[in-house]
Amino acid sequence: MIAHELWTPLTFLSGFSELLAARTDLPEQAKEMAAELHDPTEQMVELNERLLELTRLQSGRLSLTWHWVDLRDLIDTQVSQFDNLSEKHTVRFEAAAYAVRVRADTTRVTQAVANLINNAIKYSPEGGEIVVKLEEDIDEVAISVSDHGLGIPKEVQ
């Protein structure tokens, strides 16, 4: 429940720093400092939201919204967004040319794919190719992300 207790002060800091940065009657240095405060505060808000979701998941209170979704389109969109973020990395998508429709929570699947690609970029500091694959079998689909990064030590796998 610590994440819940952090929600109000983090939201306040985020909003207040954004308002300060936008004010026209403050010295430029003060506005720059407020803007510098805003970015890490937003990162903490996002981290806190993830902690809240993890708490809901562990307690069985995470609600999912099920829809039919074309995974190929969803992943293609994520790959396109991430491919433009890093000059050192190339993000490539491998999938069949046809739609792969599944019943899923679009938000959660998008979040998972984005996290996987983001981690591949983050833990491949030298750059290189990142390959996102969507594979389909008779009654299941698999999404994989591979890179040439640091890897996960065997003792924590």
- Euclidean distance between the first and final Cα of the chain, in Å? 28
CA-CA-CA-CA torsion sign (43, 4, 9, 24): positive
Q: What is the domain extent for residue 81?
A: 67-156
Is the overall model pTM greater than 0.75, yes or no? no
Per residue of the chain (157 residues), give pLDDT as tens: 566 677 778 888 888 888 888 888 888 898 888 888 888 888 888 888 878 877 877 788 878 889 999 999 999 999 998 888 888 899 999 998 899 999 999 988 998 999 899 889 888 888 899 999 999 988 899 999 999 887 777 777 6
Q: Domains in the chain: how many in total?
A: 2
CATH number of domain containing 105? 3.30.565.10
Whether residues 6 and 71 share a domain: the answer is no
Whether residues 32 and 72 share a domain: the answer is no
Whether residues 16 and 85 share a domain: the answer is no
Give the C-alpha separation, 17 to 34, whole Å.
5
Whether residues 92 and 49 share a domain: the answer is no
Whether residues 147 and 77 share a domain: the answer is yes
Looking only at the bridges linking them, the beta strands covering 101-104 and 89-94 are unpaired
Whether residues 74 and 124 share a domain: the answer is yes
